[in-house]
A and B are shown apart, each in its own frame.
Chain A
Amino acid sequence: MMLSRCIKSENQKLRHSLIFPACIIIPVIPAVMGTFNYLQNTGILTHQWYSLWTQHTLFYASFFYAPLIALYCSYLWRLEHRNHNWNVFMTAPVSIPCLYFGKLAVIFRVTLMTQLWVGILYLFCGKVIVGLPDFCPANILFWLLRGTLAAAAIGAIQLLLSMVIRSFSVPIGIALIGSVLGMLLSNKGFGLFWPYSLMLMGMNSNKTEDALSGNVLSFLLSTLVFFLIFYWLAIHFLKTRDVHA
């Protein structure tokens, strides 16, 4: 009950905010540019729906998915960092896990919307602009879902960073560096041990064959472990540290 009220109040804070235009506009860029790149290189990119997927997710999942979630998280915490709202937040007659999970749920909802939009854009570009035959393979939709699940771990980390660092922009910079490092580590086979690699692994970015085949359980476990670690750290921080309003 308390949790649903927390989620409702967090949703209210986002009303008329710029988060939703950002969530709509930013994924359009990789879709437009990825499709353009695909059309320019149809001689090399011969796997149709799979090739189009590589072009759509090449940079989105590797570099920009995490900073986008970081943007949402920074926006959500910015409201508390301003105008002594920390005092109001911490003195609310609600348990700290509920307060924090309210924010996390909203981040997850916005990320889910972003991913849905990415999927719609992919289908639209594939069917209408490129004119690919049939419907896209079901496993691509599964990859999209996996990428969404991985966002839970990143949401937990970024929410913690934006809570601790009282700057809007620094956590976004950290997310970008983390993502580039994530791509390098994933190429070396250490992706499951670095949270920022999980999204590009989950979304099977820039690959036509499933890089996680037979390894999905490890991926889910890694996502869960990172989520729990950073969720616990955030709750511990909120319970033990004094508020600087």
Chain B
Amino acid sequence: MKSLFIRQLYAERQKGRKKHLSLLPLCFLLFQVLWALWQLTHAAPEELETGYLLLFHHLPLMNTILLPMLAAVIASRLCDMEIKGDTLKLLYTMQKPAQLFHCKFLMGLKYLFYFTMGQGLLILGAGKICRFTDPLKWTMLAEHMAVTFTVSAVLLAIQQTLSLLSASQLLPLAAGLVGCFLGLFSLFFPTPIARLFIWGYYAAFPAASTDWERDSKIVRYFEVPFPMTGFLLFLGTVFIIYLLCKTLTVRKEV
């Protein structure tokens, strides 16, 4: 017999049928594939020698622009059905609010997982197609994917909370847009200020960095050690934010 939580998760899956939610990460990924191809076909031969590092440096920037909005759109699609149909009152008579929050989050996480895996494949595929000469370090790939997934997950939790709390989806989507703005701007700020904006954390744990010579205009990519302690602290913060989001949603009067 299926456990109660699995059944609730299954119900969430049923609600998402024919909503074509998988198309969302696919579209965003397809765009990144096009962008990567464009970027790599215009790269200088010496840049392709460090092709993997180039991708590990540029993809976090692209993620900062796109993924807060992807998280906002996924959360809105998953939660809007309850707001539009005014079903929360009915659901909460049978289901604990916290369970609904967990189930919805896991459903959203599934699409972010697809996207992250797809981005991993993009890096591998780009290396094969464009014949990068530098070897791929699997630890770097794993670290990049872990950061992408974790930051997206925390943004999903925030967006899901906003989507469930507000009667109109205008507010959560506007918040997603503001998040994109803040994340992107934070990349140009001094590090202590940049760390205040969670939307910019895609680039907070870089696997590669650059050295630009102003006179010759040559960009050199090099590996940087992964800040494991910082990442573990970030994971702890993610957990706290998730609990906070859950508490806020559970306390909502329906």
Contacts and interface: CB of A to CB of B under 8 A. Distances in A.
B28 A172 contact: no
Contacts of B171: 18
Contacts, number: 104
B10 interface: no
Say what secondary structure dominates the interface of chain B: helix
A181 B65 contact: no
Interface string A41-59: 0000000000000000001
Contacts of A167: 76-77, 80
Interface in B57-80: 65-66, 69-70, 72-73, 76-77, 80
B244 interface: no
A40 B176 CA distance: 26
Given A26-B174, A71-B174, A177-B31, A169 B169 contact: yes
B66 A68 contact: no
Contacts of B238: none
Contacts of A173: 24, 27-28, 69-70, 73
A68 B185 contact: no
A22 B170 contact: yes
Contact of A26 (B76, B181, B188): B181
Contact of A75 (B28, B35, B170, B185): B170
A33 B181 contact: yes
Interface string B180-223: 11101100111000000000000000000000000000000000
A180 to B, nearest CB: 6
Interface in A123-151: none
Interface in A169-199: 169-170, 172-173, 176-177, 180-181, 184
Contacts of B174: 18, 22, 25-26, 71
A180 B35 CA distance: 9
B88 interface: no
A64 interface: yes
A26 B177 contact: yes
Contacts of A40: 189-190
Question: Which one of A22, A64, A177 has the highest number of Cβ atoms from chain B below 10 Å of its Cβ?
Answer: A177
Nearest to B185: A33
Nearest to A178: B31
B178 interface: yes
A36 B69 contact: no
A67 B181 CA distance: 11
A78 interface: yes
Contact of A29 (B27, B38, B77, B182): B182
Nearest to A18: B170
A168 interface: yes
B169 A63 contact: no
A241 interface: no
A170 B75 CA distance: 11
Given A59-B185, A63-B184, A176-B180, A169 B73 contact: yes
A37 B186 CA distance: 10
A67 B76 contact: no
A82 interface: yes
Contacts of A29: 178, 181-182, 185
Given A30-B181, A177-B31, 19 more contacts: A18-B170, A25-B174, A29-B181, A33-B189, A34-B185, A59-B185, A67-B177, A78-B169, A168-B80, A169-B169, A169-B173, A172-B69, A172-B73, A172-B176, A173-B27, A173-B73, A177-B66, A184-B35, A184-B38
Interface of A: 17-19, 22, 25-26, 29-30, 33-34, 36-37, 40, 59-60, 63-64, 67-68, 71, 74-75, 78, 82, 167-170, 172-173, 176-177, 180-181, 184
Interface of B: 24, 27-28, 31, 34-35, 38, 65-66, 69-70, 72-73, 76-77, 80, 84, 168-171, 173-174, 176-178, 180-182, 184-185, 188-190
